[in-house]
Amino acid sequence: FQDEQSEDYDPWRAPELVDNSPAWSELSNVQRIQRVLFWIFRIAVVLGSLYLFICSLSLLSDSFRLLGGKAAGEALDSEGIVSNPIAGLMLGILVTVLVQSSSTSTSIVVTMVGAEILTVSNAIPIIMGANIGTSVTNTIVSLAQSPNRDEFRRAFGGATVHDMFNWLSVIVLLPIEIITHYLYWLSLALTSGIKGDSNAKQDLLKALTSPFTKLIIQLDKNVITNIAIGQKEYLNKSLIKSSCGSVVRIVPMNVSSLVNVTNETSGETTLEMVYESVNVSQAAKKHCRFLFANTGMSDPVIGIILLIASVVLLCVCLILLVKCLQSMMKGHVAKIIKKTINADFPGRWSVLTGYVFMLVGAGVTIIVQSSSVFTSTITPLVGIGVIELDRMYPLTLGSNIGTTTTGVLAALATKTGLHNAMQIAICHLFFNISGILVWYPIPFMRRIPIKLAKFMGNTTAKYRWFAVAYLVFMFFIIPGAILGLSLAGWYVLLAVGGPFLLLLIFIGIINVLQKRKPNLLPKGLQSWDWAPIWLRSLEPYDRIFSRICCYSKRSKPEVVACEF
């Protein structure tokens, strides 16, 4: 590896891994067979790890639904929250984080709009929040590469470039939507010819992963949807399926009937009871057969067990996947793969490279029906250097476009209100397209999300604990706090949040001027050295976490230093 102290060292560009194994021509026949078999074994491990990794994401999503799905449904049913666009935005983030799937939260919102419980205008901020919340999964996945500093830097940057794009898009487009309602009017014009209802069925079962995940847990996702549309009786119903369809049983029954019987001797006709045995078909519930079926445990308890198991499985699969890919990405093979993925088209066609990769990201996401699965799968590849951050960015944007097909399918599955449901699905599509038009075609604007992602990656490489703090604050504490202030009213939100927002804007402007035009600033603002160190540096917090780490490991004599 290159020396990190070298001036030419770039931690965002993975160093070439040197293949020290002997050349193919130097191997004997037995050694060649062994190498081929070893390659087949590694490919099998990669495919198996990738399969279980995707299954673990599905189980992780199910665990979050068991822990917070009902609360998310109740929140969506609150008229006071959804009528406030800021509260609706934060609600969309929290609901998507709780159910660990923007596809689920978007489908619920589309169903509510179709049932006329939510208006299209109120649903637009929730859809924007769902876009932000869906990026939490690949951010969690990046934590598995924290042992290696540079891999963690690249993986966390690759994950947060999705966050940066979504946050920046919302910051720009939500105020425009509140003022002009452009998404509402554009989608209304495009769906004006859609009338009536639809009997289309939505089939989003993942043919590959469901055989494994259904052996562990099966959830009735309609429970959350029914809670969200106001059916309170579902609050006491478990999310875990108690029956899986029905079976028809043939049951023999004795049927009695009165018939006229004529006496042959006297000629008299009398009524007599006649019994006859017939087979009657009866429908009975089919009991489910999976690991957590009929255990007697509550949904939260099963959710916690499933959460722990899915995280362990995710980490194990990710470690196996990364190690195998690293061993395979050496020498000539690595150069070919990296050059193919990260190279631009030749000549004047180079400007189209990013847009082609957007189409690739959109296509793969449509196939797997999950942007979380796609972005979480390629995040480790960014960490080990197979995919560069500049290439991850358009793939992520394409994934944002591809995930909007879930809303369209949900709209087609609604039994009533097809026009409104399709309108909010189109709003989701054009929100992502609008974000791309703002943050990608112009090279200067394109670099902003990437630079922010690199800043996040560099910070978390220096302070490992920062990644967890970022997750907690950006996806839980900040949305929860803003949601609470929004519920208190506009005046409270402006009184508390307004000065804080102005302070952040002021600090941002001063930081830019300090780097580019320091002479324009007063002498006291040309640096932040006058401010307390805990306001301008993470070092004091890092020392606290280091002491906690050392204290927890002080019983181990071999530990001489703790590093985050």
CA dist 470 and 389 (Å) reads 19
Highest mean pLDDT among 62-76, 242-256, 300-314, 547-561: 300-314
- Indicate if the pLDDT at residue 272 is higher than 60: yes
Of 103, 107, 152, 102, nearest in space to 130 by CA: 102
- Indicate if the pLDDT at residue 562 is higher than 50: no
For residue 232, give the DSSP letter.
Answer: G
Confidence class for position 54, pLDDT limits 50, 70, 90: confident
Least confidently predicted of 114-128, 212-226, 453-467: 212-226
Question: Three-state secondary structure along 334-347?
Answer: HHHHHHHHHCCCCH
Confidence class for position 435, pLDDT limits 50, 70, 90: very high
**Average pLDDT rounded to a whole number, residues 375-382:** 84
219, 62 in Cβ contact below 8 A? yes
Contacts of 550 (CB under 8 A, 6+ apart): 559, 561, 562
Give the rounded percent of residues in the chain with a pLDDT score beyond 90.
Answer: 13
Tell the burial category of 213 from Cβ atoms under 10 Å away from its Cβ (0-12, 13-18, 19+).
Answer: buried
Looking at residue 258, its pLDDT comes to 65
Beta-bridged to residue 258, according to DSSP, are 273
Q: Which two tokens stand for residue 83?
A: 């009528």
- Indicate if the pLDDT at residue 224 is higher than 80: no
Strands 243-262 and 269-287: antiparallel
Looking at residue 53, its pLDDT comes to 75
pLDDT tens digits for range 118-157: 788 888 999 999 888 888 888 888 888 888 888 899 999 9
Confidence class for position 281, pLDDT limits 50, 70, 90: low
- Indicate if the pLDDT at residue 235 is higher than 90: no
pTM, two decimals, is 0.72
Looking at residue 450, its pLDDT comes to 93
End-to-end CA distance of the chain: 22
- Phi and psi at 257, nearest 5°, equal -150, 155
pLDDT tens digits for range 476-488: 898 888 888 877 7
**Residue 267 DSSP SS3:** coil
Average pLDDT, the chain: 78
Confidence class for position 555, pLDDT limits 50, 70, 90: very low
Q: Which two tokens stand for residue 367?
A: 């196939």
- Indicate if the pLDDT at residue 404 is higher than 80: yes
60, 314 in Cβ contact below 8 A? yes
- Indicate if the pLDDT at residue 553 is higher than 60: no
User: In this structure, which amino acid lies at residue 446?
Assistant: R
- Indicate if the pLDDT at residue 91 is higher than 80: yes
pLDDT tens digits for range 160-208: 999 999 999 999 999 999 999 999 999 888 887 666 555 444 444 356 6
**Average pLDDT rounded to a whole number, residues 505-530:** 84
Greater confidence (35 vs 268) lies with 35
Greater confidence (57 vs 144) lies with 144
**Average pLDDT rounded to a whole number, residues 84-99:** 84
Looking at residue 203, its pLDDT comes to 41
Least confidently predicted of 224-228, 439-443, 530-534: 224-228
**Average pLDDT rounded to a whole number, residues 323-349:** 70
- Phi and psi at 33, nearest 5°, equal -65, -40
Using alpha carbons, list the distances in angstroms from residue 316 to 123, 212, 366.
38, 17, 27
